[in-house]
Amino acid sequence: MILVWIIILLIGTGLLAWLASGWNTFLPRLISLVGTLIYFGITLWLWLEYDPGIGSQKWIISYTAEWIPAFGIQFKLVMDGLSLLMLLLTSFLSVICVLVSWKEINRRVGFFHFNLLLELAGITGIFLSLDLFLFYFSWELMLVPMYFLISIWGHEDRIYAGKKFFLFTQASGLLMLLSILGLYFIHGQNTGIYTFDYEQLLDATMAPQTAFLLMLGFVVAFTVKLSTVPLHSWLPDAHTQAPTAGSVILAGLLLKTGAYGLIRFALPLFPEASHQLAPLAVLLGVVSILYGAKLAFAQTDFKRLVAYISVSHMGFILLGVYSFNEMAMHGVVMQMIVHAVSTGALFIIAGAVYDRIHTRDLHQMGGLWRQVPRMGTMGLVFVMASMGLPGLGNFIAEILILIGSFQGNFKVLTVIATVILITATAYALRIMQKVFYGKEHKVWEIPDFGIREMIVMLSLTSVIIWLGWNPSSVFRLSKVPVQKVIQKINIPEYSQGEEMERIDRDNIYNVANFLDIKYVAINKGNQAQKIIKEVNNTYGRRTEFETINYLPNSPDIEQAEEFKKRSSKTE
């Protein structure tokens, strides 16, 4: 029920803020701040409460109610580790967004906050809904307020940027709707049960070509959101023209809905088709990484530069997701979070600079460090984060994706993607040089970050440093969902026998995990399966029995014996 309350809280706060704007402009801000803080508090509480039992198959919280029973539509909100992480991120950024808009937004303050909170409600809905209809509903709900945020409170070209954003996402969203309906009818015809329920649709069977086409609908919608080259071109305009809070939400959350969709829907619903798509997807991912970096390097508009950095970073997500490797997938989850924080912070800095000198042109800046050392320091931290400097969260994400995808099938492409380490340095240092270092082209008399801005920046900084040194706090949550996706995607392949080696290793690793044993090795043998069964029977681990059956080759006898010994110890 708490999941429903979160959404009600956001929409309610939004409405209240809109109503309150009748009195003055301070009240809507305060109401929104309180609302988002409560939201953040709830997710923090859920996070601290959550104890990930290893191998637990259940959802953390779920809520199901009938919505339109005639069509098999439910109001089904479900949270697992991945959703919880996304919710934490959403609530954290929503507080940040309200804070950065505090001084920046002065027109139609109430309506602004209404849109902001409605947007956040839509995004929260996406991360929670497990009914495809509800998911599509949230997907559309997210679109409209963002269109308003860009077109009303944006910069000079806001109308153009807003339309472009709307057209790209709406068109791709419609493709997804077609796919959803296709899935709905195919599953209905096969089983007689017409439902939009994700968990039931997971078992839908269909011809490979149909599956591929249906999957494309989803993937196009998600990759447009991910701003994968060549579908990225809405993003630079939208990011550049949006107000700061809009840019933060766009970069931090909207792009993540694409990544989340791939992990939650595209892969598990269409495992075989995903394998067919993988070479192309990985290629596009690598192209995005490098092409985005190259474009970022060429830009002279501060916000546009940061926007292209996003394109580059989102390429990592595509690379990681389609390598079907657990390590890479963990890296993807990490990347979703750290990209939101680091790029969000860069947008906030760009917005703060714009507020002070009323230009985003890098040629007008230079030598600002002397005037605003605090801003410069913060700029340095997040510029370094975005080029993946170790010690900051982005490094963990990137290195896991790279090492992980190298273990997969795309070794050459992974090595090519590594070139980003160099190109990222080039664009990142360009920001520092053009904005904070170098000669002062004009002598600006501008104030440094104030207390409110420092609170925002320091909280972002502490998150990015925390994640760099203690990423386990994320992996603790993402472990179960990621392993589930990887299992689902890799199982159908073992019969093909081509990639035995890799699958073999993955499965053994999973088995070891399920048995609470830290056992990772590649060994083969035939009778071991029996012994593992025995282990299961003896210690009553029947639930994991199925997983073990998927093992094409198993650890040899001695190793399995050792399994037995060790698991008896853990018992």
Partner 1 sequence: MKELLWLIVTLPFAGALILAFGGRKFPHAVSAIIGVGSVSLSAILTLLVGFEFLGDTTPFLQVAWQWFDVYGLSPDIAFRLDTVSLIFIFIITFVGALIHLYSAEFMWKDEGFVRFFVFMNLFIGLMLILVLADNLLLLYLGWEGVGLCSYLLIGYWYKDPKNGYAARKAFIVTRIGDAALAVSFYILFMTFNTLNIQDILTAAPGTWSLGSGIAMATAFLLLGGAVGKSAQLPLQTWLPDAMAAPSPVSALLHAATMVTAGVYLIARTHVLFEIAPTAQHTVAIIGAATLIIAGMSALYQHDIKKVLAYSTISQIGYMFLALGLGAWSAALFHFMIHAFFKALLFLGAGAVISVMRDEHNMFKMGGLWKKLPIIFWTFLIASASLSALPLITAGYYSKDKIIWLAFASDKGSVGLWLAAIVGAFITALYTFRMVFLTFFGKPHAEPTHRPGWMITIPLMVLAFFSFAGGFIELPQNMGNLTLVSDFVEKTLPVATLSVLQPFTELIFQIISSIVAIGAVFLAYILFFNKPFPAAEPQRNAVQRFFFKGWDFDLLYDKVIVTPMIFLAMINKKDIIDQFYTGLACITRQLNALLSATQNGQLRWYAMVVAAGAIIILTIIFFP
Number of other residues whose CB lies within 10 A of the CB of residue 58: 9
130 Cβ contact list (under 8 Å, min separation 6): 62, 76, 77, 78, 197, 198, 199
Q: At closest approach, how far in Å is the CB of 571 from partner 1?
A: 22
Q: At closest approach, how far in Å is the CB of 183 from partner 1?
A: 29
Q: Which lies closer to partner 1 via its Cβ, residue 270 or residue 436?
A: 436
Q: Which lies closer to partner 1 via its Cβ, residue 243 or residue 388?
A: 388
Q: Report whether the peptide linkage leading into residue 492 is cis, meaning its omega lies within 30 degrees of zero.
A: no
Distance CA 236, CA 296 (A): 10
Residue 10: which of 29, 38, 30 has the closest Cα? Answer: 38
Q: At closest approach, how far in Å is the CB of 486 from partner 1?
A: 9
Q: At closest approach, how far in Å is the CB of 335 from partner 1?
A: 13
Q: Which lies closer to partner 1 via its Cβ, residue 137 or residue 475?
A: 475
Q: At closest approach, how far in Å is the CB of 185 from partner 1?
A: 32
Q: At closest approach, how far in Å is the CB of 508 from partner 1?
A: 11
Distance CA 335, CA 468 (A): 11
Residue 200: which of 76, 370, 368, 18 has the closest Cα? Answer: 76
Q: Which lies closer to partner 1 via its Cβ, residue 52 or residue 182?
A: 52
Please calculate the CA angle 282-284-285 and round it to the nearest 5 degrees: 60
Distance CA 466, CA 348 (A): 20
Q: Which lies closer to partner 1 via its Cβ, residue 17 or residue 229?
A: 229
Q: At closest approach, how far in Å is the CB of 127 from partner 1?
A: 22
Q: Which lies closer to partner 1 via its Cβ, residue 145 or residue 331?
A: 331
Distance CA 341, CA 345 (A): 6
H or E element at residue 409? none
Q: At closest approach, how far in Å is the CB of 365 from partner 1?
A: 13
Q: Which lies closer to partner 1 via its Cβ, residue 131 or residue 398?
A: 398
Q: At closest approach, how far in Å is the CB of 394 from partner 1?
A: 12
Distance CA 328, CA 407 (A): 9
Q: At closest approach, how far in Å is the CB of 475 from partner 1?
A: 6
* Residue whose tokens read 């049960």: 193
Q: Evaluate whether 192 touches 175 at the Cβ level (below 8 Å).
A: no
Q: Which residues bind partner 1 (CB under 8 A)?
A: 164, 229-230, 232-233, 236, 294-295, 297-300, 325-327, 330, 367, 369-370, 373, 377, 380, 384, 389-391, 395-396, 399-400, 402-404, 406-407, 411, 414-415, 418-419, 421-422, 425-426, 429-430, 433, 436-440, 469-472, 475, 509, 520-521
Q: Which lies closer to partner 1 via its Cβ, residue 145 or residue 379?
A: 379
Residue 107: which of 50, 153, 66 has the closest Cα? Answer: 153
Distance CA 99, CA 379 (A): 18
Distance CA 314, CA 330 (A): 15
Q: At closest approach, how far in Å is the CB of 141 from partner 1?
A: 25
Q: Which lies closer to partner 1 via its Cβ, residue 121 or residue 327?
A: 327
Q: Which lies closer to partner 1 via its Cβ, residue 8 or residue 298?
A: 298
Q: At closest approach, how far in Å is the CB of 299 from partner 1?
A: 7
Q: Which lies closer to partner 1 via its Cβ, residue 236 or residue 481?
A: 236
Q: At closest approach, how far in Å is the CB of 93 from partner 1?
A: 23
Which long-range CB contacts under 8 A does 67-72 form with residues at least 24 apart?
67/131, 67/133, 67/134, 68/133, 71/133, 71/194, 71/196, 72/184, 72/188, 72/193, 72/194, 72/195, 72/196, 72/197
Q: How far is CA 139 from the centre of its chain?
A: 15
Q: Which lies closer to partner 1 via its Cβ, residue 273 or residue 413?
A: 413
Q: Which lies closer to partner 1 via its Cβ, residue 207 or residue 451?
A: 451
Distance CA 376, CA 230 (A): 34
Hey, what amino acid is at 195? T
564 Cβ contact list (under 8 Å, min separation 6): 531, 534, 535, 538
128 Cβ contact list (under 8 Å, min separation 6): 3, 7, 77, 78, 79, 83, 87
